[in-house]
Structure 1
Amino acid sequence: MKGRIYTTQKCFVCQGALNYVEGRGHLSCVTHPDHQWKGACVVRFGRNHTKRFKSVLEAERHLIYLRVQTDLGKFDPREWAKDQPLSFLALRLKFIEYKKSTNITLKQVKDIERVLIRAGQTWDRMQIRDIAEAEIEDFLFQDHGVSSKTIANWKTALHNFFAWVVRREKKKSNLQMPSFPVTSFKMKMKAVVSIEDQQKIITEVKKISWNHNPRIWLAIKLLALYPRVRPGELINVKEGHINLVDLYIVFPQPKEREPKYIHLLKEVAEEIRESQRLYPAMPTMYFFRHLKRRNGLKVGTQFGPVYLNKWWKQACVNLGFSDVTLYPGTKHSTVTALGKIMSPEQIQHNVTGHASEAFKRYFLPDYQEKILATKQISDMQKKIASDNVFKITVKKNK
């Protein structure tokens, strides 16, 4: 049988080698079998696996386990290596390095890393093959104090991680992709505003931010005018991405991973051109950047991820609007208003460029048809009511 147990200890009588006796839990001398050794020893299994134990009994259990794993086709000497290359800890660290080399943002990498660190609190010392459906389900469905949407995002991150591991190790370790449990969630509707109120807020933003940085107002105006652009994509625009000759802005790396464009109205192009004239810069500089040094902000640095929302919320407070943040106040509010004058197909093709779940939540489907149908019901009810008019006679007291 493959594998043996060895020791450097010698026979107390003849100083001969001690040999492992299968299934007896000890080593003994061939010449003096009564002299047995049950202490420190080493298991050697093939050329690539060696492990020390304090007792022969522990070593014997380990040897039996290795033989069973070999019979099942699951033995991999790397699982017993000192650096544990097939542990969850080692693989999650490699996965993060791999993700950094792909075309995703640093924020997305950090989000994935946080999920794996959370899972690693339980799994870091486990071999990857020992993490199966039960362990994944227990992790996802325990109370983490987060929303169902967050749990669904965690599931996606873990699924991507295991898919990457299986692709790497399928031939070497015969690793199989574990099944993932079904997780469901429903996004809440965020507060939107009418176009009239939206423009009041944007005007207020201009009023309170113009002397500080006119590009704050310009950025928020563009978000309301071009719903296909996300705030994170807009602040990543560089001077060289803006073409004022052919009137467009290109977004090289949006969330959809394919470059996308917005076509500028002439008046918008003139506003951008005037801003570039007042604040000239190299093509590699961010267009939406800090133009003055104030409150620790360095001139030339890019707007932060919450910077525009900060000014939007201040304008809302000044005007008495509550619970309306930048994203739904611009993008979603515009799409909702467009539902009154455009069809879903027109909006998807010409405005948003796609039909996301958010689009389905905020778009008012078939607005004109629904209004027409309701008006017909109302007219029908009024006609029937007029046919059934009767007089109420009020008796006067004599």
Structure 2
Amino acid sequence: MATSVRNNLIIHAFRGIKICMVGAVRTKEKCPKCGGGFEGEPLRCPSCFTTPKRYFVDFSWPGQGRIKLYSDQQGYPLDSWERASRLLSAIRYEIDQGKFDPREYIRGEFKALRFGNYLQEWLKRQESRNGRAEISLGYFKFAQMVVRKYLTPFLGDKDIREIREGQIEDFRDDLPPSLRPKTLANIIGLLSKILRDAYRRRDIVYLPEMPKVEVGEPITKWISLEEQEAVLAHLSDPVFKAFFLFLMKQGVRPSEARAMRWDNLDFKKNLVVIRAAMDGEKYRPSTKEKDVRYQPMHPRIKEALKGLPRSISGFVFVNDGKLLSKKLVINTWKRAAKEAGLKITCYQGTRHSLASQAINKGVSERIIGAMLGHKSVASTRRYAKLSTETLKAVWTEDVSPVRPQKDIDKR
């Protein structure tokens, strides 16, 4: 067999039959800096020396017409000159051997980039991230539910490269009208995350704009100190009484309190260190914000904790030798609140209530946010609400119970 190459024209002589193939590696992109085209081998902007992010192979041979492929036989996108060149060489060889079947490439390309298949691969990566404690178990389970219940049925048969704004708007409009705005926003947010990941990985070259979902400010419920005491009065177990008192006074998340260890409590310095949290029923050595917080220990907390027995596990809140489960915490709170005549969740009756009680005393949002471990004042503002009694100060000439922000911050 003799082979000659000239200007990408490959002339193969095989068993007396000549097969001519013209092929090249190309791109549809323009230089991101100057907007010019890419030239040469490998493709490069002659002015800015930038290279494309995506390539395709463009080839033809007599009797077969022109073919363009944007991924290899396994469905991986052509994200480098080297990968595209290897693909073109492999195709030349298959044509030379009389074994080339373009359907095999197109089938593999579509299978890998079919959105339903892509979603499953994305979930596998999220499962690995959950195993490394990079995302919570709750987030992963929510992603699984959205993929199974909403994304796959509506968009699963689409090519991820072809998903555009119109299809996303149709998907949003097709979601059940019974969904709360917050849930709707979270679903659209998850789809946005998946597409942004695909864009970052260069699996797609176009990132569609997401439709806006109006959520509005959530209604935050909270209770007074007296109502909190009423809940505590209906708790006979000292462990649960200390646990919920800890939530009320320290303002930590229930998952952080469940993961609290004795070595994170300094009774001499009256200090509480929050550095870990439970993810479902699994201990994580980091908090939701991936930070370590230092809090002053409330006097009542010091008294309540010193009366608790110490288990060999090293954890503070233990029931029958086991850590408090999420379900047990929720059910115990619900029962005590009901007996106290209150209909409020554990989160609202403890963490949210501490924030609202503090702001009605005149404590600044900045200080409240630091106590709760918020990264932004906006998060604190959602929880800390002024009571109607505090707002009545605008009708009187009395000094407002809430001092000016600048005076508070000077303390």
TM over 0.5: yes
One-letter amino acid of the structure 2 residue matched with residue 177 of structure 1? L
Q: Does structure 1 residue 219 correspond to structure 2 residue 243?
A: yes
Report if the CA contact (8 A) 2:249-2:298 is conserved. no
Question: Structure 2 matches for 1:151-162, cutoff 5 A?
Answer: 151-162=184-195
Distance 1:91 1:174 in 2: 12
Give the drift of 1:100.
Answer: 2.9
Larger relative strand fraction: 2
Distance 1:362 1:83 in 2: 47
Task: After superposition, give the CA deviation of every residue in 1:153-204 in whole Å (9 maximum; x if it has no partner).
Answer: 11111111111111112xxx56121110111112442432221111111222
Cα pair distance change 1:114/1:174, threshold 3 Å: closer
- The DSSP-based 3-state class of the residue aligned with 2:287 is coil
Distance 2:288 2:113 in 1: 32
Report if the CA contact (8 A) 1:149-1:187 is conserved. no
Task: After superposition, give the CA deviation of every residue in 1:221-267 in whole Å (9 maximum; x if it has no partner).
Answer: 1111122x112232233455444454323223222232323332355
- The DSSP-based 3-state class of the residue aligned with 2:288 is coil
Gaps of 5+ in 2: 1-7, 9-15, 20-55, 76-105, 277-285, 399-411
Which of 254, 257, 280 in structure 2 is aligned with 1:231?
254
Distance 1:119 1:176 in 2: 19
Q: Does structure 1 residue 99 correspond to structure 2 residue 99?
A: no
Cα pair distance change 1:356/1:326, threshold 3 Å: farther
Distance 2:187 2:153 in 1: 15
Find the counterpart in structure 1 of residue 334 from structure 2: 313
Cα pair distance change 1:343/1:240, threshold 3 Å: closer
Cα pair distance change 1:98/1:239, threshold 3 Å: farther
Report if the CA contact (8 A) 2:116-2:155 is conserved. yes
- The DSSP-based 3-state class of the residue aligned with 1:186 is coil
Distance 2:112 2:268 in 1: 55
One-letter amino acid of the structure 2 residue matched with residue 143 of structure 1? L
Q: Does structure 1 residue 289 correspond to structure 2 residue 318?
A: yes
Q: Does structure 1 residue 340 correspond to structure 2 residue 360?
A: yes
Cα pair distance change 1:148/1:370, threshold 3 Å: closer
Between the aligned residues of both structures, percent identity stands at: 20
Distance 1:48 1:226 in 2: 68
Cα pair distance change 1:337/1:250, threshold 3 Å: closer
Find the counterpart in structure 2 of residue 85 from structure 1: 112
Distance 1:122 1:373 in 2: 53
Find the counterpart in structure 2 of residue 114 from structure 1: 145
Give the drift of 1:147.
Answer: 0.9
Cα pair distance change 1:259/1:249, threshold 3 Å: closer
Distance 2:59 2:305 in 1: 66
TM-score by length of 2: 0.62
- The DSSP-based 3-state class of the residue aligned with 1:306 is helix
Distance 1:121 1:352 in 2: 40
Q: Does structure 1 residue 186 correspond to structure 2 residue 216?
A: yes
One-letter amino acid of the structure 2 residue matched with residue 307 of structure 1? L
Question: Structure 2 matches for 1:1-398, cutoff 5 A?
Answer: 67=67, 78=75, 80-81=107-108, 84-102=111-129, 103-117=134-148, 118-144=150-176, 145-169=178-202, 175-205=205-235, 207=236, 210=237, 214-227=238-251, 229-246=252-269, 247-252=271-276, 253-275=286-308, 278-283=309-314, 286-291=315-320, 299-300=321-322, 302-321=323-342, 323-345=343-365, 347-348=367-368, 350-354=370-374, 355=376, 357=378, 359-364=380-385, 370-376=391-397
Distance 1:366 1:147 in 2: 26
Cα pair distance change 1:349/1:334, threshold 3 Å: closer
Distance 1:48 1:84 in 2: 22
Gaps of 5+ in 1: 3-15, 20-44, 50-59, 292-298, 378-398
Q: How many residues are aligned here? A: 300
Cα pair distance change 1:346/1:93, threshold 3 Å: closer
Cα pair distance change 1:223/1:352, threshold 3 Å: same
Cα pair distance change 1:287/1:260, threshold 3 Å: same
Find the counterpart in structure 2 of residue 36 from structure 1: none
Cα pair distance change 1:190/1:348, threshold 3 Å: closer
Task: After superposition, give the CA deviation of every residue in 1:41-66 in whole Å (9 maximum; x if it has no partner).
Answer: xxxx98999xxxxxxxxxx9xx77x7
Distance 2:59 2:249 in 1: 65
Cα pair distance change 1:177/1:316, threshold 3 Å: same
Give the drift of 1:273.
Answer: 3.8
Distance 2:184 2:71 in 1: 34
Give the drift of 1:309.
Answer: 2.4
Report if the CA contact (8 A) 2:250-2:298 is conserved. no
TM-score by length of 1: 0.64
